[in-house]
Amino acid sequence: MDSVASPTATAAPAGSPTRIAQPVQRRLDTRWVVTALLVLGIIPTALGIAHLATVVAGMDVSDKALYFLASPVPIGVHVAGAALYVLLGPLQFAAGFRRRAPQWHRMAGRLLVFSGLLVALSALWMTLTLPHRPGAGDILFVARLVFGSVMISALALGFVAIRRGDVPSHRKWMTRAYAIGLGAGTQVPVLMLAEIIVGRPDDLVRAVLMGGSWVVNLAVAEWVMRRR
């Protein structure tokens, strides 16, 4: 919230420690945010690449592995799109970087829309074609359909908003799309923490935790946008 100076307030002199400390603090905060987003995105991407390598090498013979071998294009597109999305995305949230490199911001933004659509569409394709078990599997099936569709809609709305010059709406929709795209980044630590606390979760708990990770990401994104 913007501060309002009282009539008796004394303005800090130019070059004072307060004036210098504020932009320095903002830069530090931005670096922490960018670093955290990169870590959250890189971990599941690296795990996905490693799992894909084990499937190709024949080290994984599960039903899902056999599905991936029979239909490698969707998973390949998903992993490649996700890698591009999580590497470029965090820099778009650095206001200072946007101001210093507006051309880069626009070029990276176009790539992010394209890679984000690849991630969401390939995820929907795999959701609709990959066999899933009833019960807990149905929960994840619905969650993936819902959040994949919302991500596509958010990307489209964000693109349309910037084309008509509505920067605030563009930022909000792109933030929501990135929060959904980063769902796997939240799912990994959430599932690891659950396993440490209560042991390996069953299918139902796992499905709820994975679906809840998308909800948490969106809730955090909305909270941050309201603070701004």
pLDDT tens digit string along 153-181? Answer: 999 999 999 999 999 999 999 999 999 99
Q: Please report which helix (H) or strand (E) contains residue 95, including its range.
A: helix 95-100
Q: Within its chain, how far is the Cα of 14 from the centroid?
A: 40
What does pTM read for this prediction? 0.79
For residue 185, is it within any domain? yes
Cα–Cα distance, 30 to 28 (Å, whole number)? 5
CB distance 151 to 178 below 8 Å: no
For residue 16, is it within any domain? no
Length of the chain: 228
Which residue reads 């708990």 in tokens?
Answer: 205
Residue 73 is encoded by which pair of tokens? 């294009």
> What pLDDT is attached to residue 5?
40
> What pLDDT is attached to residue 23?
53
Domain that holds residue 148: 24-227
- The DSSP symbol for 92 reads G
Task: Kindly tell me if the per-residue pLDDT of 118 is higher than 90.
Answer: yes
For residue 219, is it within any domain? yes
Q: Considering its fold, how many domains does the chain have in total?
A: 1
For residue 8, is it within any domain? no
Distances (CA, A) of 50 to 45, 113, 178: 9, 25, 23
Point out the least confidently predicted range of 15-29, 77-91, 208-222: 15-29
Cα–Cα distance, 91 to 99 (Å, whole number)? 12
Distant-in-sequence contacts of 79-84, Cβ < 8 A, 24+ apart = 79/45, 79/48, 79/49, 79/52, 80/118, 81/115, 81/116, 81/117, 81/118, 81/119, 81/122, 82/41, 82/44, 82/45, 82/48, 82/115, 82/119, 82/181, 82/184, 83/45, 83/49, 84/111, 84/112, 84/115
Q: Within its chain, how far is the Cα of 102 from the centroid?
A: 22
Cα–Cα distance, 105 to 97 (Å, whole number)? 8
Cα–Cα distance, 182 to 124 (Å, whole number)? 16
Mean pLDDT of 30-44: 82
Cα–Cα distance, 118 to 151 (Å, whole number)? 11
For residue 99, is it within any domain? yes
The dihedral through the CA atoms of 182, 186, 192, 195 has a sign that is negative
> What pLDDT is attached to residue 9?
42
> What pLDDT is attached to residue 28?
47
**Largest distance between two CA atoms of the chain:** 74
> What pLDDT is attached to residue 136?
67
> What pLDDT is attached to residue 7?
38
For residue 33, is it within any domain? yes
For residue 13, is it within any domain? no
For residue 61, is it within any domain? yes
